[in-house]
Amino acid sequence: MHRIGVLTSGGDSPGMNAAVMAVAKAARYHGMSLIGIKRGYNGTLCKSHHIEDDMLELDLDTILDIADQPGTYLRTARCLEFHRPEMRVHAVNNIREMGIEGIVVIGGDGSYHGAMELCALGVPCVGIPGTIDNDLAYTEMTLGYDTAVNSCVDDIRAIRATSRSHDRPAVVEVMGRHCGDIALKAAAGSGAEICIVPEVNWSIQEVANRLSRLIDMGNPRATVVIAEGAWDAMHPMDWHRYLRENGCHVHDDDVMNTHFLSLMLKYKCKCEARPTVLGYTQRGRTPSAYDSWFAFEAGNLAVNLLENGIGNQVIGLKDGRVYYLPIGMALQQKREFNLQLYNLINTI
């Protein structure tokens, strides 16, 4: 191949820029030119007034210093239009017009489905798992996950310092809509006493009972770590009864959030539980050494695959080493939740 493209799609994650830089290095090594496709699959549709706002040639000397920067230099965005077959054909025509012969796609499962569609239309693609959630079963770790966990552990440790100072519990919400891996590893890494994840059913009463026992045992400064998507796994309950019994005056729309959980624990456990939502700080950190290494190896392997005419593949980690397999096979694998670690956190 003489020219390849690279895009970042879905939610941004630490290490995306490091992966783009690695792709650029490998492309230069193989004598290829590299086109950066902006704002995910939107760039393939060339919706801007000027082509350079959608696709631009990446010069290694220009982007060499982006590797340690958070976010994504190429930007990212959702592209609902890409679900339409006629728009995908339009995208392929634009890709070919630019002379792009293969694309490295950095993103999550939605991005991988888009890559499969391009492969079906004759554009070879190789995927790199760029998502902090660690929700792709075929790989031991996704790009950005290690950084996100380290970010959460640092923040939780700081919150626990204040909890110790005031002898009061903390409720900390971390990211993870359908996957509780960030919450699980951050809780284990910070010494938190309670972890709530989407994979395991739970109830406010169970959490209150656990916290009350900890307080009775002389630990009034326990930490509850909850994944943002854990509310979908909560046992059904009569919200109006809960609100009425505990004298809370909030609207139903405000119930399912971390602030409400803290309020309920305050009433049930007679404590000053304080909520903190860490939010996008987990995405906007400088990538860890591990994520930077993974990005470097994955970017190089992706370009090598395209150079050898191998597409429709994704790159992952297995036994600590990078490897590749077909996109379809990767997406079919089922993720296994570490229930043993979850039970360990919530029982000791």
- Convert the pLDDT of each residue in 296-311 to its tens digit: 999 999 999 999 999 9
Output the pLDDT for position 241. 59
For residues 29-46, average pLDDT: 97
Q: How far is CA 216 from CA 83, 135, 207, in A?
A: 55, 37, 14
Q: Containing H/E element for 171?
A: strand 170-174
More confident residue, 51 or 302: 302
Instruction: For residue 302, give every residue at least 6 positions away whose Cβ sits within 8 Å of its Cβ, in sequence order, or none.
Output: 23, 26, 104, 126, 127, 128, 315
**What dihedral angle (degrees, nearest 10) is formed by the CA atoms of 92, 94, 98, 99?**
20
More confident residue, 27 or 252: 27
Whether residue 83 has pLDDT greater than 80: yes
Q: Is 133 a catalytic residue?
A: yes
Least confident of 28-32, 45-49, 130-134: 45-49
Output the pLDDT for position 193. 98
Whether residue 254 has pLDDT greater than 60: no
Confidence of residue 239 (pLDDT cuts 50, 70, 90): low
Least confident of 1-5, 60-64, 220-224, 282-286: 60-64
CATH code that applies to domain 3-144+287-332: 3.40.50.450
Output the pLDDT for position 246. 60
Output the pLDDT for position 249. 58
What percent of the chain lies above the pLDDT cut of 90? 86
More confident residue, 238 or 270: 270
Output the pLDDT for position 242. 61
Question: How far apart (Å, rounded) are the C-alpha atoms in residues 152 and 172?
Answer: 9
Could you give the 3-state DSSP secondary structure of residue 316? Answer: strand
Confidence of residue 171 (pLDDT cuts 50, 70, 90): very high
Whether residue 255 has pLDDT greater than 90: no
Name the residue among 306, 303, 112, 41 with its Cα closest to residue 295.
303
Which residues of the chain are in CATH 3.40.50.460 domains? 147-282
Output the pLDDT for position 234. 84
Output the pLDDT for position 277. 97
Residue of 12, 54, 109, 133 marked active site:
133
Confidence of residue 334 (pLDDT cuts 50, 70, 90): very high
Chain mean pLDDT for the chain = 93
Output the pLDDT for position 252. 52
Confidence of residue 248 (pLDDT cuts 50, 70, 90): low
CATH superfamily of 147-282: Phosphofructokinase domain (3.40.50.460)
Model confidence, pTM: 0.93
Whether residue 245 has pLDDT greater than 90: no
Confidence of residue 155 (pLDDT cuts 50, 70, 90): very high
Which residues of the chain are in CATH 3.40.50.450 domains? 3-144+287-332
